[in-house]
Amino acid sequence: MANAWCINAISCDWCLIQTLQQLDSSNIWVWVQFTAPNPLDDKRLDYIKYTDKNWNTCCLSWENEILIYATNWTIKNLTLTNDDTNEVVNVKRNDIFWSNRKKTVVRYKTWWYPTSITDWTLAVEELVQNQYASTWYNVSWLSDWTTYYFSAFAVAQDDTIIDMQSKNITTDFFWWKYQKVEYIQSSWTQYIDSSYIITPNTEISADFQFTATTSQQMIFWIWQDNNTSSWINFNVYIWWSSVRSAWLSDWTSSNSWNNTSVSANTNRNKFVLNNWTFKIYNSSWTLINTTNTKTTISRNATHSFWIFARREMYYSNFRNLSRWKLYWFQVKESWTLVRDFIPAYRKSDSVIWLVDAVNKVFYTNAWSWTFTKWPNI
């Protein structure tokens, strides 16, 4: 006789997933023990279909149909997601159990996964099976930009751990308030105070494009600091279509120019300036020119530098404003990133400034009018 009946995997909405096993007709009405394979051990299984001696496909009656669920309790589908708006982490998971189920416990910590149901901070203790399998449980009071390690434990009636599943997530609640854009553009009336003091170990790099190359167009500049025994002149700017830079520590030294030609709205460039060299690149990071700085500095500045303008302490904060596009701007101190300025606007009122991704600060336009923003990222 032909194969008589099958063990099928059926989803919870009664759709056939696949046939798992076919058995001979002689086994009909005989007890069969079957272990569902992973990952189907969380699906319904049935004994419903067989072929009779006339090769007709038949189904058992509803009264005789047997539904089988997995008998080993497992934690499945542990999911963690950021909810930036509410500044929480959402937790969902599903447990497959038999009569030995007591509860599910989810805990977390910040350096490695919890290893027991009492290890570190409790997220949720679930006494109702799969209470948070389709809806989220919100874990609040978490720090921003921190990696959290979660473990979900299946706990039996005798309080032993039957199964565990772990997953981690890094929170990022800051960015829901802001929208990153490709670049922001100045128009001679804006500048950003970096709030950063230049030191002998400072390195600055940026991605930029000038929209005007006549006269002086400042990327950034701190000039003529008020310590007259050791002037500081630290800058990158355009002088009549040529990119120039200087890092000087005395008033009498001449500047060390890097005369890389640029055209308005044509050349997009990157640069890196430290206490030794000024390097300028094209948009693909191909080196175009290198210039040694004229002298090195031996002390910290006494005032922060400005972006989009020149800060002249000697002339009471004279502002030499500029017109250009900024794609990103970074500051490193002894090779450690301390400012990562990203063009963005605040979603609540569309104010366009720079976000520092390192310290999670929105840096304001310190002068008049407003920046122009371009496509969202």
Q: What is the CATH number of the domain that holds 123?
A: 2.60.40.10
Last residue of a domain, one of 142, 172, 202: 172
In the chain the first and final C-alpha atoms are separated, in Å, by 66
Q: For residues 92 and 213, state if they share a domain.
A: no
Ranked by mean pLDDT, the top range of 7-11, 20-24, 33-37, 128-132 is: 128-132
Range of the domain at 9: 3-68
Q: Which of 61-70, 158-167, 189-198, 289-298 has the lowest mean pLDDT?
A: 61-70
pLDDT of residue 83: 85
pLDDT of residue 57: 58
Q: For residues 323 and 206, state if they share a domain.
A: yes
pLDDT of residue 32: 54
pLDDT of residue 121: 96
Q: For residues 192 and 228, state if they share a domain.
A: yes
Q: Is residue 277 predicted with pLDDT exceeding 80? A: yes
Q: For residues 258 and 120, state if they share a domain.
A: no
Q: What are the start-end ranges of the E strands in 43-87? A: 44-51, 57-59, 67-68, 74-83
Residues whose CB is less than 8 angstroms from the CB of residue 326 and which lie 6 or more positions away in sequence, other chains included: 183, 184, 185, 186, 206, 207, 208, 307, 308, 341, 343, 354
Mean pLDDT of the chain: 79
Q: Is residue 249 predicted with pLDDT exceeding 50? A: yes
DSSP per position, 352-368:
EEEEETTTTEEEPB-SS
Share of the chain above pLDDT 90, in %: 25
Q: What is the CA radius of gyration of the chain?
A: 33
For residue 91, which of 82, 99, 100 has the smallest C-alpha distance? 82
pLDDT of residue 37: 60
Angle at 188 between CA 225 and CA 203, to 5 degrees: 45
Helix (H) or strand (E) holding 161: strand 161-170
Q: For residues 16 and 132, state if they share a domain.
A: no
Q: For residues 303 and 240, state if they share a domain.
A: yes
pLDDT of residue 47: 46
Please answer whether residues 172 and 351 qualify as being in contact, where contact means their C-beta atoms are separated by less than 8 angstroms.
Answer: no
Please answer whether residues 373 and 345 qualify as being in contact, where contact means their C-beta atoms are separated by less than 8 angstroms.
Answer: yes
Last residue of a domain, one of 172, 205, 232: 172
Provide mean pLDDT across the span 321-348.
Answer: 93
Q: For residues 239 and 160, state if they share a domain.
A: no
Band of pLDDT at residue 366, cut at 50, 70 and 90: confident
Please answer whether residues 185 and 324 qualify as being in contact, where contact means their C-beta atoms are separated by less than 8 angstroms.
Answer: yes
Please answer whether residues 22 and 34 qualify as being in contact, where contact means their C-beta atoms are separated by less than 8 angstroms.
Answer: no
DSSP per position, 182-195:
S-EE--SS--EEEE
Last residue of a domain, one of 132, 148, 172: 172
Amino acid residing at 101: R
- Helix-, strand-, coil-residue percentages of the chain, each rounded to 5: 5, 50, 45
pLDDT, tens digit (0-9, with 9 covering 90-100), for 36-51: 565 555 555 554 455 5
Phi, psi of 174 (to 5 degrees): -70, -40
Please answer whether residues 96 and 185 qualify as being in contact, where contact means their C-beta atoms are separated by less than 8 angstroms.
Answer: no
Q: For residues 23 and 122, state if they share a domain.
A: no
Amino acid residing at 154: A
User: CATH number of the domain that 274 lies in?
Assistant: 2.60.120
pLDDT, tens digit (0-9, with 9 covering 90-100), for 83-93: 877 889 999 98
pLDDT, tens digit (0-9, with 9 covering 90-100), for 17-31: 677 666 665 555 555
Number of domains composing the chain: 3
**CA distance linking residue 205 with residue 248, whole number of Å:** 18
Q: For residues 48 and 109, state if they share a domain.
A: no
Q: For residues 8 and 146, state if they share a domain.
A: no
Q: For residues 34 and 135, state if they share a domain.
A: no
Band of pLDDT at residue 68, cut at 50, 70 and 90: very low
* Burial bucket for residue 191 (CB in 10 Å: 0-12, 13-18, 19+): buried
For residue 105, which of 22, 115, 249 has the smallest C-alpha distance? 115
pTM: 0.62
Q: For residues 33 and 78, state if they share a domain.
A: no
